[in-house]
Structure 1
């Protein structure tokens, strides 16, 4: 929602101010299709040259996050804590029983109660792989924490590719605008014998290229890159919460304390209250019974 409002404000303030100052939109509108073809087309081509197919697809998906925001909401963090509570409790009560859940989460009655989490491959694999390693006696808290930290750093680095790709395009757009403007000047020099009113329109059309390159870079693509980065980094907290709870479990803290560690490490605007989480855990226990 804020993304749409932001774009509307940008266009209203820039072009509204231009019109109120006495500017004429005719020259801009006449030159816009050709300038956009040169600048936008060159930017897209450079983007394709500099990135592989997976990054291109990922960028298309991540641009949507500018308008939708982070994937994980308040209820998802609460559900994750409930899921981890159930898994840790089962693992402590019956190490044999937990194998059915971590080896086949799709058919697990615990995972099935949290479908949004179950649909996220990375979250499920992070939980299952870690608990499987623990069951195989790879249970040194410091080693497991280091392993999880490296895994999440690699995942975050990969997830930020689209943000870096967009920022690279934003950095290059002003220069591409200059390229378009120079071509416009070349076109103008070819009509140097024309009267001043004709030359003025040609020069104005050439300057639209410079304007468009800077406007797209700092008004749209740059902010898109920044927003994608912010959303990806916020989504990473969801996986960090998994690490906190499972490492606390390896320190042999009581199950409730492990979940409280996770709750305390939840981002403030998504953190469930103590009483809210207690009610959710009671409901989870009743469903499990």
Structure 2
């Protein structure tokens, strides 16, 4: 929602200020289709040249993050802590019983309680792979922490590609605007024998290209790239929380302490209060009983 508000504010302030200063939209509206075709078309073409098809699809999909915001909300972090609590408690009570859940999470009654987490393959794989490794005595906390950190950073690096692609387009748009403006000047020079009022409109139309390139770069595409990056970094905290809880478990802390470590490492604006989490964990215990 805030993304839409931001776009509205940009357009109202820029064009509202222009009109308030006595500007006329006629020359902009007349030139806009042609300038947008040249600048937008060139930007799309450059985007396709510099990316493969999976990256193109990934970037187009990630544009939705500007309006949707982070995937994981406060309730999701609470659900994750409850899921980890159930799995760790079960693993300590009966190491064999937990295997059916980490070997086939799609068929697990524990994972089934948290469908949003179950639908995220990376989160499920991170939990199951780490717990499976621990069951095979690969339980050096420092080694596991390093492996998980590298895995999370690798995913973050891959996810950032869409932000980098958008930023690259934003960096190129002002230059593409100049290209469109130069073409407009060439068109104007071909009509140099026309009266000043005609030449003025032609020059104004050419300058629309420069304006459009800069406006798109710094008013829309650049902020889109920044927002996508911020959302991706925000969502990465969800996977880091998994790492913190599972590494704490390898240090042989009690299950409750492991979950509290996770709660403390939850981003502040998503962190459930101690009492709220305690109530959720009590409900989980009662359901398991």
TM-score (norm 2): 0.99
Could you tell me how far apart the structure 2 residues matched to 1:61 and 1:243 are?
A: 27
2:119 counterpart residue number: 119
- Consecutive unaligned residues of structure 2, counting only runs of 5 or more, are none
Could you tell me how far apart the structure 2 residues matched to 1:275 and 1:111 are?
A: 23
Q: Aligned-residue CA RMSD in angstroms?
A: 0.5
Could you tell me how far apart the structure 2 residues matched to 1:61 and 1:112 are?
A: 27
Single out whichever of 51-60 and 143-152 deviates more from structure 2: 51-60
2:28 counterpart residue number: 28
- Consecutive unaligned residues of structure 1, counting only runs of 5 or more, are none
Which residues of 2 match residues 246-265 of structure 1 at below 5 A?
246-265=246-265
* CA apart distance, 1:278: 0.4
* CA apart distance, 1:148: 0.1
Could you tell me how far apart the structure 1 residues matched to 2:250 and 2:58 are?
A: 35
Could you tell me how far apart the structure 1 residues matched to 2:61 and 2:204 are?
A: 37
2:287 counterpart residue number: 287
2:221 counterpart residue number: 221
1:48 counterpart residue number: 48
* CA apart distance, 1:287: 1.2
SS of the residue corresponding to residue 10 of structure 2 reads helix
Could you tell me how far apart the structure 2 residues matched to 1:51 and 1:130 are?
A: 33
> After the TM superposition, which parts of structure 1 deviate over 6 Å for at least 4 consecutive aligned residues?
none
Could you tell me how far apart the structure 1 residues matched to 2:276 and 2:164 are?
A: 38
Any idea what the Cα deviations from partners look like across 1:15-71, whole Å, max 9, x if unmatched? 000011010100000000000000000001101111111111111111111011001
TM-score (norm 1): 0.99
Could you tell me how far apart the structure 1 residues matched to 2:52 and 2:248 are?
A: 39
Could you tell me how far apart the structure 2 residues matched to 1:46 and 1:122 are?
A: 31
1:243 counterpart residue number: 243
SS of the residue corresponding to residue 110 of structure 1 reads helix
Any idea what the Cα deviations from partners look like across 1:231-259, whole Å, max 9, x if unmatched? 00000000000000000000000000000
SS of the residue corresponding to residue 46 of structure 1 reads helix
2:146 counterpart residue number: 146
